Structure 1
Amino acid sequence: MIYIDNEGITDPHVNLAIEEHCIRHLPAGEDYLLFYINAPSIIIGRNQNTLEEIHQAYIDEHDIQVVRRISGGGAVYHDHGNLNFSFLTDFSKDKLNNFKQFATPIIEVLNEMGVAAEMKGRNDIVVGDKKISGNAQFSSTKRMFNHGTLLLDCDLSQVSRALDVKMTKIQSKGHKSSRSRVANIAEFLDEALSTEAFKEKILDGIFPQSTERRVYRLTDKDWESINALVEEKYGRWEWNYGRSPDFDIQRTRHFAAGIVDFRLKVKRGGTVENVKIYGDFFGQRPIEEIEDALIGVRYHRQDIEAALAGFDLYAYVGDVDRGEFIDLIYGPDEV
């Protein structure tokens, strides 16, 4: 495994651009590990409706950056007390949505530090009933990454102030708020650690003293590509917020794979004119392919079934029942 040096950058726009550049352009056949620390920011999941996930006025007042990532999952708050890790590797189906496989090295190091961490639920690392890390994935046909947060000493009061927790998620998980579920790793350590010192402990655990730590340093050519990604994508409102289309119908359901939220605009003649699918689900394929397949289709169950017949839904949204997925589009609202 090769460690990627991000040069201590804390701008979330740049760090997400580094991650995307590396997964798309560094040589295949090698595994890489990237760590980065972001200034106060909210990182939005690829398929989420940004304006429905955040408290915009609070974010503006406190100069919190909002950046969309290319992986699925839910919105998360980052600051200097949060360490982010990303494992970059060749794609294989057995790794897809296998968060435990990637989190295990991190969990083992935390255990060695006296933190009783374990993988639980869909994609969380927890200590007892408290979440200390969430994970997400992005994959192409050849490469993929699994990245996650490590809440060392994050300002947890900002989580509920900056994020708008959806009632769907609260009701389905039986929690009053996301704040009650999270904790800092610092609470379980015998000694205080800076985020940089914590990062070094994790690196020492993953790269033992007997193993040479190979380091990749970004080249001028890498930086040209990274800076272009920031300018053309991560630094733009169109990517981070985007426009939500007008819709007549909204249907939301919480599956084992996560929240799926359909927005449809249906013409007077009964055909689908516009569709947008939001949620914190994970999938390998772009959800826009499902959206495009539904445009122009008659808003009738049989027509919807026919339009989606050739799609492997697992590749787009994860583990969902096809019948229940069609019910969501056409049937009564459910939570």
Structure 2
Amino acid sequence: MAQSMMRRIAMSNMLVMVGLTRRASSRSLATGKSLMAKKSKNDLPPEGEVTKSVFMSQSTDIYTNLALEDWMYRNMDFSKHHVMMVWRNEPCVVIGRHQNPWLEANVPFLSEKEIALARRNSGGGTVYHDRGNLNITFFSPRERYDRKYNLELIKRALFRGFGIKSIINDRHDIVVRDKYKISGTAAKLGRLTAYHHCTLLVNANKTDLSKALAKREHGIQTNATPSTPSPVVNLSDLDQRVTVEGLQTAVGYEYLRTPALHLEDGGDRQISKQRGFQFINPSEDWFPGLAELKNELQTWDWSFGRTPMFTVSRSFPVPSELLSPSKVYSATQELIISMTVDKGLINDVTLNIPPGLVESGFYGQASVITHLKGKRFTSEALTALQDAMLTRHTSGDVKKLDDKEQFVAKCFDQVVNTI
């Protein structure tokens, strides 16, 4: 009964508001930028004068939705109008602003599966998205940012709509059955505006989620923000009635029936005061300047180049057949590759070549290192290494690496996580 009522109310609001949104978007949303530029502080009205909207993004592209989020944060005035945006994405991995993608994600798997990797503007940990996730962003003035209020709304919606009991832990995750995480959270607080966003697992592909975020041997040392692994569960595993669309309606309905600043059920009367559900088309026509924000988010320099400086060191036992046959070695002969990477570029590298490999004919470390500096920590560096080793050959007819050089290249390949 409750779900049926939610759908009727949500749909009635959609029908009213969708027709208004397109005509008003370019005018009212674009003017927000000039208004925000003039303000030095928020002039906040009483709670009763604040209206709410639920924006439903029509895009499933991660870069578009992150750009829309950033556009609204930069340009809109939320003093009298709070907004909850709901959005979904095709498969992707989203890292926090201060994280290391090579440490947090299985980059080779993402490349193989053509799963996008995106760096968002907020902090927090790494998450996997697909169309089985519901993503929610709460926008408000900085002074009225309240993460606990937002999470309580979601918690109430889960119970009111589906009878699912949950708790909010000390890390502001939403947890069910005492240990299973269904929602992680992050935020960005500016001078005037703030947003808090989270993702809810509804029926996400947990196999791809596990592989995309799999931790592997990497040898990375960094001060970048680490993610905290947690056991997860889909809400549909708890109750098969839960769908992304149904949850979107339930949370949106809970948001609209609740006053802006305190958790009180205002029911239909409160809903009637709000601006309702609105379909949003995140395009340049609706949001001038959106394309520029999206283009920046898609660049390698943003997704990987913004990574805090890190060092990586890996050691690899040298196969006996590559060592000098006339020598007997008392210790394991290991090739050690060490690098410092800044802004995603290699700025220092050391190849510690064991005596057994040198005595079997591998040499020329200085020329190899010279070719690697300034290269991206990707297959670009591997190509530079291979080219450097080829240039050492005295015979111009030699066009391929010998066994020892192939071994070094293979080890280097594992360090930079190429496939």
Residue aligned with 2:289, SS: helix
2:179 to 129, 133, 139: 129
TM-score (norm 1): 0.65
Partner of 1:106: 154
- Distance change (3 Å), C-alpha of 1:159 and 1:27: same
- Distance change (3 Å), C-alpha of 1:223 and 1:107: same
Tell me if structure 2 keeps the 8 A contact 1:53–1:166. Answer: no
Partner of 1:115: 164
- Partners of 2:212 and 2:97 in 1: CA distance: 18
- Provide Cα deviations, 1:215-234, integer angstroms capped at 9, x if missing partner: 55468554332111111x11
Q: CA deviation at 1:42?
A: 0.3
2:290 to 226, 234, 237: 226
Letter in 1 for 2:255: I
Q: CA deviation at 1:24?
A: 1.1
Residue aligned with 1:157, SS: helix
Partner of 1:321: none
- Distance change (3 Å), C-alpha of 1:85 and 1:121: same
Question: How many residues matched?
Answer: 240
Tell me if structure 1 keeps the 8 A contact 2:78–2:139. Answer: no
Residue aligned with 1:3, SS: strand
Residue aligned with 1:57, SS: helix
- Distance change (3 Å), C-alpha of 1:166 and 1:102: farther
Partner of 1:21: 71
Tell me if structure 2 keeps the 8 A contact 1:21–1:222. Answer: no
Tell me if structure 2 keeps the 8 A contact 1:72–1:138. Answer: yes
- Partners of 1:52 and 1:119 in 2: CA distance: 27
Q: CA deviation at 1:3?
A: 1.8
Partner of 1:67: 118
- Partners of 1:134 and 1:226 in 2: CA distance: 26
- Provide Cα deviations, 1:52-94, integer angstroms capped at 9, x if missing partner: 11111111111111011111011100001000000000002x7
Q: Which runs of 5+ in 2 are unaligned?
A: 1-51, 218-227, 258-267, 314-339, 349-419
Residue aligned with 1:204, SS: helix
Letter in 2 for 1:206: Y
Question: Does the alignment pair 1:146 with 2:196?
Answer: yes
Partner of 2:408: none
1:53 to 78, 98, 104: 104
- Provide Cα deviations, 1:181-233, integer angstroms capped at 9, x if missing partner: 111111222x43431232122222322444135155468554332111111x1
Tell me if structure 1 keeps the 8 A contact 2:86–2:137. Answer: yes
- Partners of 2:310 and 2:204 in 1: CA distance: 37
Alignment of 1:254-333 (within 5 A): none
Q: CA deviation at 1:249?
A: 10
Q: CA deviation at 1:244?
A: 5.1
Question: Does the alignment pair 1:158 with 2:221?
Answer: no
Residue aligned with 1:123, SS: coil
Partner of 2:128: 77
- Partners of 1:140 and 1:181 in 2: CA distance: 32
TM-score (norm 2): 0.52
- Partners of 1:264 and 1:48 in 2: CA distance: 14
Q: Which runs of 5+ in 1 are unaligned?
A: 168-176, 251-262, 266-272, 275-335
2:94 to 28, 37, 43: 43
2:255 to 168, 190, 206: 206
1:9 to 59, 68, 71: 59
- Provide Cα deviations, 1:107-150, integer angstroms capped at 9, x if missing partner: 11111121111101212000121100001000111100000001
Residue aligned with 2:66, SS: helix
Q: CA deviation at 1:166?
A: 8.4
- Distance change (3 Å), C-alpha of 1:245 and 1:193: closer
**CA RMSD of the aligned region, Å?**
3.0
Partner of 1:332: none
Letter in 1 for 2:191: T
